Amino acid sequence: MSRFERWLLHVATLLVAGTGLVYAWMIYFARPADPYAVVNHPWQPATQHLHVLVAPLLVFGAGVIWRRHVWAQWQRRVPQGLASGVALGLTLIPMIVSGYLLQTATGDTWRKVWVWVHIATSVLWLAGYLAHQAVRLRRRSLRRAPSTSSPPFPTGTRSPGARRFPTPTARGRTDAG
C-alpha cells in the first residue's frame, strides 16, 4: 500500500469516525437547553451533514486499497493482520449499505433497524481498524528493534549461499569473453 493510500484511509477514517462519534454523542447523550428544541445540540444538523459528506471519502479510500492491499494479502494468506483485516472487510459493506439505507428509509421501524445496524457495524469497523493499525505498528517496531540473537553463522565463516570467488568485475575483468 502506498503512502498516499495509507494516509487517504487514515484521514477518511478519522473524519468519518470523528463526525460519527460526535453526532452519536449529540443524539444519545447531549440534552437540549430548551425543552422545545428539535435537536439536542445546535451543531447537530451540521455534524450530520459533515458526516454524510465525508463518508464517500472512506468508501473511495477502501476501494482504492482493495486490489493492491486487501485482495493481495488475502490471496497470499499473510497471517499478520488477517483477523483484523477480515473483520474490517466483513463490517465495511453493512456499514456502508446501512448508512445509505438510513438516509432513504421512510418507515420508522426500518429507520431504527438501519440506525442500529449502522452503529453496530461502525463500532466494529473502528475497533477492527484500530486493531489492524496496532498489528501494523507492532510488526514495524519488531522489525526495527535491534536483534539480540547471535549471528546465524559463526564469525569468520561464509553462509552456504555466499560466493566462493568474487564476481568477474570485482577481479578486474570487464570483457565479456
Q: Tens of pLDDT along 85-122?
A: 788 888 999 999 999 999 999 999 999 999 999 999 99
Contacts 24+ apart (CB under 8 A), 103-112: 103/52
Q: Which of 50-54, 112-116, 144-148 has the lowest mean pLDDT?
A: 144-148
What residue ranges do the domains of the chain occupy? Answer: 79-143
Judged by phi (left if over 0) then psi (alpha if -120 to 50, else beta), residue 147 lies in beta
What does DSSP assign to residue 169?
A: T
Span 4-47, pLDDT tens digits: 999 999 999 999 999 999 999 999 999 988 888 888 899 999 99
pLDDT band at 177 (very low <50, low <70, confident <90, very high): very low
Angle at 8 between CA 141 and CA 62, to 5 degrees: 95
CA distances from 69 to 24, 66, 78 (A): 31, 6, 11
Residue type, 66: W
Whether 65 has a pLDDT exceeding 60, the answer reads yes
- Grid cell digits, residue 120: 453496530
pTM (2 d.p.): 0.72
Backbone angles phi, psi at 96, to 5 degrees: -65, -50
Helices (H), 29-172: 44-65, 72-76, 82-104, 108-144
pLDDT for position 146 = 64
Q: From CA 118, how far away is CA 116, in angstroms rounded?
A: 5
State the average pLDDT for the chain.
83
